[in-house]
Amino acid sequence: MAKKASTMDKVGSWAFIIGVIIALLIGIFSFGTFDATLVSLLIILGIIVGLLNVTSHETSPFLLAALSLVIVSYFGGSVFANIAVVGKYLQSTLNALMTFVIPATIIVALKAIYSLAQDK
């Protein structure tokens, strides 16, 4: 029998979906200059995802995927910046995704360190 998702699980899932969509829209339409309000929204959604959406069993895969995404986004953005016409959009999109993912990664990493430091 399938387990019913709690309200907090739904909030975390929706925060992730909304964060990715906003990051993509910011990347496509911002032309490299991010509005402070939208950046703050991405950071808040990233924190919500880190707090609510990643369980202890998902910590290692999430951190590995997030680390890969941040590294590839950073270096990929630098490479894409040199591509005519679409390069600035690709770079901007990757920067917006990083802005969303980095706070979630920090929260999950801190939760992992805390769970390692706990006395069992």
* Cα–Cα distance measured from residue 54 to residue 51, given in angstroms and rounded to the nearest whole number: 7
Number of domains forming the structure of the chain:
1
pLDDT at residue 101, rounded to an integer: 93
Residue span of the structural domain in which 46 resides: 11-114
Is 16 part of a structural domain of the chain?
Answer: yes
Report yes or no on 71 lying in a domain: yes
In a domain, 21, yes or no: yes
Distance (Å, rounded) from C-alpha 54 to C-alpha 26?
A: 24
The pLDDT tens digits for 54-105 are: 778 888 998 999 999 999 988 988 888 888 888 888 888 888 999 999 999 9
Percent of the chain clearing pLDDT 90 (strictly above): 25
Name the token pair of 59: 């910590």
pLDDT bucket at 8, cuts 50 / 70 / 90? low
For the full predicted model, state whether its pTM sits above 0.75: yes
- For 88, how many CA atoms within 13 A lie in the half-sphere containing its CB? 8
Closest CA to 88 of 77, 99, 96, 97: 77
